[in-house]
Structure 1
Amino acid sequence: GKPTNHKVFGEDIAILASVALMGLAVKQTSSSTGAPPERVLRAVQVMAQAVGTEGLVAGQAEDLAGEGMSFEENDEAGLEHLEFIHIHKTAALLEAAAVVGAIMGGGSDEEIERLRKYARCIGLMFQVVDDVLDVTKSSEELGKTAGKDVMAGKLTYPKVMGVEKSREYAERLNREAREHLRGFDSDKAAPLFFLADYIVNRQN
């Protein structure tokens, strides 16, 4: 693996880069000349919601507040707290990516909703797998520091579900994600099926 942005350039520049990229995404979408204005407006609203207080900001705030919290394994409150964080962080960003594409491409409301649900599944699945790898792989295998979430006192899926149940949950999310794609053209949906399988089977 390669060093992350904040390791190379520092946290301050990495944060500025993220803000710049969000602005660039809005600029690119709003500058589109191939879609009706109402689609463009709807797409921009989706992006704004994903990164604002109903999305990324809310999830990150809850993540920071939860550091050091103590939950027992199989604690429902711990799982609810964890799901809130990642539905509003990783899943929210993937939902926005899928939904914006569907909106700009002229998808029906039903198609947009199915893609949103698909993206939520793979967003949560990504985080579940990431948490499992963090406690089961070495730093050399991961290309980053293993066990960093545990050391930081972060709430993780293995911490509240155990490793095996976390793996089972990831597999269930993969099945659900694939189910949401049923009915779409199989050739056009093939990359999305591949992406779901890649996420659940990744090893670093």
Structure 2
Amino acid sequence: MNSNLSTQSEGRPVKAKSSAPDFSHRLAQVADQVETFLVERLGAEVGPGEIVRPPRLMEAMRHAVLGGGKRLRPFLAIETARMLGGAEAAALAAGAGVELVHCYSLVHDDLPAMDNDDMRRGKPTVHKAYDEATAILVGDALQTLAFEVVADPAWQPDPAIRADLVLGLARASGLGGMVGGQLLDLTAEGRFGAVDLGVDDTLRMQAMKTGAILAFSVEAGALVGGANERERAALLRYGHALGQAFQIADDILDREASPEAMGKATGKDKDAGKATLVDRLGLDGARAECDRLVGVCEDAVSQWGEKARVLRDAARFTVARKT
């Protein structure tokens, strides 16, 4: 494991200009470290308590997880922990656990019964590359593997922190978080009868579907880093604002970006009648809300000064990204 994870960017002078090149380098560096960790977890070798790893299942899991994605969620966990002086190995494992849950959600969201997508990250979705039954099992396996990684004492020796990480991930990804938000999203499409979501309803749905996991990524870093109650509250405020900004930026990209740039079909949300703030506020209003939320993020981490530079850059990146 690269020891630079805990020391990279320490001691750098404050820059008056944007630190976007430094941020892009850091994001890519962490993505490589997360990729290495995930490759090791998705190998063919049988793990503790396992009888056999079915080759088709493992191949499809690797198809779903490896070789794509910005790894923003583990990046947030790792960088938050690093800012607070947390253990590198524990932050990496916690972040990888969140990423496995995220990947499982993408596999299931792409299924014909859900969003019915053919492409993800520039390659065929799992149900297209394999079949629907395999895709369902891949999602199931990735979800359980996520909790196995987060609960493993090899990465986090403190049982209280492990318990908090497992509980937080379960809440963020379950019925009151990502899964519940996905159901509200389907409801907004009119799947179960006519419905008209207002701005507050849309914000609630997005806070659950997308925001909860992003916010927990930051909270996981806070747990690993030993944040006190006041610090955790500030970081949660950052995480919730970041999650909201991410979803709005995603909705803008769905309207404006090309399928080639996104690595998946675009324009489907509008065609499906999905509830978005772009519909409620218009493109200019949505961009203004993104800018406001970046300000909330920056204010939330202001107490850490220059130590929070990467987290501030992450907020700006979230709304400025092109994919």
TM-score (norm 1): 0.86
Q: Distance in 2 between matches of 1:92 and 1:49?
A: 8
**Would you say 1:201 and 2:323 are equivalent positions?**
no
Which secondary structure does the structure 2 equivalent of 1:32 belong to? coil
Deviation of 1:4 after TM superposition, in Å, equals 5.8
Given that 1:132 and 1:157 are in contact with CA atoms closer than 8 Å, whether structure 2 keeps it comes out as no
Task: Give RMSD over aligned pairs.
Answer: 2.1
Q: Answer with 1 or 2: which has the greater Rg.
A: 2
SS in 1 for 2:303: coil
Q: Is structure 2 residue 252 aligned with structure 1 residue 106?
A: no
Instruction: State the Cα distance separating 1:65 from its structure 2 match.
Output: 0.8
8 Å contact kept, 1:67–1:153: yes
Indicate if the aligned counterparts of 1:35 and 1:104 stay in contact, CA closer than 8 A. Answer: no
Aligned AA for 2:314?
L
Which residue does 1:91 correspond to in 2? 211
The answer on 1:165 being equivalent to 2:165 is no
Q: 1:26 to 1:83 in 2, by over 3 A?
A: same
Where 2:123 maps in the other structure, the secondary structure is coil
Alpha-carbon distance in 2 for matches of 1:125, 1:111: 21
Number of residue equivalences: 198
Mapped pair 1:32 → 2:145? no
8 Å contact 2:215–2:242 — kept in the other structure?
Answer: no
Aligned-pair distance for 1:23?
2.0
Secondary structure at the aligned position of 2:273 is classed as: coil
> Does structure 1 residue 192 correspond to structure 2 residue 314?
no
Question: Does the 8 Å contact 2:258/2:266 carry over to 1?
Answer: yes
Instruction: Look up the equivalent residue of 1:126 and give its one-letter code.
Output: F
Deviation, structure 1 residue 169: 0.4
State yes or no: 1:63 paired with 2:185. yes
Q: 2:198 is paired with a residue of what secondary structure?
A: helix
Change (3 A) 1:161 1:10: farther
Of 237, 262, 276 in structure 2, the residue corresponding to residue 142 of structure 1 is: 262
In structure 2, runs of 5+ residues without a counterpart are 1-120
C-alpha distance in 2 between matches for 1:23 and 1:46? 15
Quickly say closer, same or farther: Cα 1:128–1:106, change in 2 above 3 A.
Answer: same
Shifted more, 52-61 versus 25-34: the winner is 25-34
CA distance in 2, matches of 1:196, 1:130: 14
In structure 2, the residue matched to 1:74 is: none
Among residues 141, 148, 151, which one is paired with 1:20 in the alignment? 141
Q: Which deviations, in whole Å up to 9, do the C-alpha atoms of 1:153-174 show, x marking residues without a partner?
A: 1111111111100010011111
| 8 Å contact kept, 1:59–1:87 | yes
Distance in structure 2 (CA, Å) of the matches to 1:161 and 1:4: 33
Asked whether the equivalents of residues 122 and 260 of structure 2 are also in contact (C-alpha less than 8 Å), the reply is no
Amino acid at match of 1:3: K
Q: Is 1:48 aligned with 2:170? A: yes
Give the distance between the partners of 2:135 and 2:315, measured in 1 at CA. 28
CA distance in 1: counterparts of 2:124 and 2:171, whole angstroms: 26
More displaced, 37-46 or 164-173? 37-46
Q: Identity of counterpart residues, as a percentage?
A: 31
Distance 1:49 1:116 in 2: 14
Describe the shift of the 1:54–1:134 C-alpha distance in structure 2 as closer, same or farther (beyond 3 A): same
- For 1:200 and 1:138, locate their aligned partners in 2 and report how far apart those are by CA, in whole Å: 17
Secondary structure (helix, strand or coil) at the match of 2:184 reads helix
1:120 maps to amino acid: H
Which letter does structure 1 place at the counterpart of 2:152?
S
Residue 89 of structure 1 aligns to a residue in which SS? helix
**TM-score by structure 2 length?**
0.56
TM-superposed CA distance for 1:100, in Å, is: 1.6
Shift of 1:199: 0.9
